[in-house]
Amino acid sequence: MTGLRVTLGVLGAAGLVAGLLIDRPTVLFPLLALGIVAFVVAAGCLAGDLLPLRPVYAVTSGLALIDAVLMAVAGQASRPLALVAALALVLLSAGPRLIRPGR
Amino acid sequence: MAVRTPLERRLRWAVVGLAMFCAVLVLLIAAVLVYWRLYLLSPSAEPFSRGPFVIRLGPTSAQLAWTLPGDRRVELVATAPDGTTATAANGRFTGLEPDVRYLWTASVGSVGRAAGSFHTAPTDPRAPVTFAAIGDYGSGTDHEWAVGRTLASEQPDFVVTAGDNSYLVGAPVLLDRNIFRPLHDVMLEAPLYATMGEHDLFYSNGAAVADALHLPNDAGRYVVDYGAVQVVLLGLDDGPAEVAFARRVLARPGPRVRFVVLHRPVQPGDAILPLLRRYHVAAVIAGHLHRYERRVVGGIPEFVVGTGGEGPGAAEFTKRSPDAIVSLLNFGSLRVTVTATGVRYQFIDERGRVLDHYSTR
The residue among A39, A49, A73 with the most chain B CBs within 10 A of its CB, best to mutate, is A39
Q: How are strands ordered across the β-sheet holding B50-57? A: B50-57, B62-67, B92-93
Instruction: Please tell me which of the candidates B15, B18, B23 has its beta carbon nearest to residue A39.
Output: B23
pTM of the model: 0.80
* pLDDT bucket at A101, cuts 50 / 70 / 90: low
Mean pLDDT on A5-18 = 94
- State which residue of chain A sits closest to B28, comparing Cα positions: A36
- CB-based contact, B3 to chain A, within 8 Å: yes
Instruction: Locate the domains of chain A by residue range.
Output: 2-97
The beta-strand segments (E) located in B166-236 are 192-194, 222-226, 229-235
Mean pLDDT on A2-28 = 90
Nearest CA-CA partner of A87 in A79, A96, A76: A79
Share above pLDDT 90 across residues of chain B, in percent, rounded to a whole number: 88
Residue B3: pLDDT over 80:
no
What is the rounded distance in angstroms from the CA atom of residue B21 to the CA atom of residue B87? 58
Q: Calculate the alpha carbon distances from A73 to A44, A91, B276 in Å.
A: 21, 19, 76
The SS3 call for residue B229 is strand
DSSP string across A81-101? HHHHHHHHHHHHHHHHHHHST
pLDDT of residue A103: 46
Instruction: Locate the domains of chain B by residue range.
Output: 9-41, 50-119, 129-360
Cβ-Cβ contacts under 8 Å, B2 against chain A: 52
B50-119 falls under which CATH superfamily?
Immunoglobulins (2.60.40.10)
Helix (H) or strand (E) holding B337: strand B332-338
Instruction: Check if the interface score ipTM surpasses 0.90.
Output: no
> Which residues of chain B from 22 to 61 reach within 8 Å of chain A, CB to CB?
22-24, 27
> Which residues of chain A from 47 to 86 reach within 8 Å of chain B, CB to CB?
47-48, 50-53
Distance of CA A9 to the CA centre of its chain: 6
Beta carbons within 8 Å of B55's beta carbon, 6+ residues apart: B63, B64, B65, B191, B192, B213, B214
DSSP A53: B
Q: With CB atoms and an 8 Å threshold, state whether A47 touches B1.
A: no
What is the rounded distance in angstroms from the CA atom of residue B227 to the CA atom of residue B124? 7
Task: Tell me the average pLDDT of chain A.
Answer: 89
Residue B300: pLDDT over 50:
yes
Q: Calculate the alpha carbon distances from A61 to A13, A81, B3 in Å.
A: 16, 20, 18
The residue among B20, B21, B34 with the most chain A CBs within 10 A of its CB, best to mutate, is B20
C-alpha distance from A59 to closest chain B C-alpha (Å): 16
Instruction: Please tell me which of the candidates B15, B20, B24 has its beta carbon nearest to residue A51.
Output: B15
Domain B129-360, CATH class in plain words? alpha beta
Mean pLDDT on B61-90 = 95
Cis peptide before A25 (omega within 30 of 0): yes
C-alpha distance from B21 to closest chain A C-alpha (Å): 8
Cβ-contact B347, B316 below 8 angstroms: no
Nearest CA-CA partner of B139 in B175, B103, B172, B189: B175
pLDDT, tens digit (0-9, with 9 covering 90-100), for A21-34: 988 888 889 999 99
- CB-based contact, B271 to chain A, within 8 Å: no
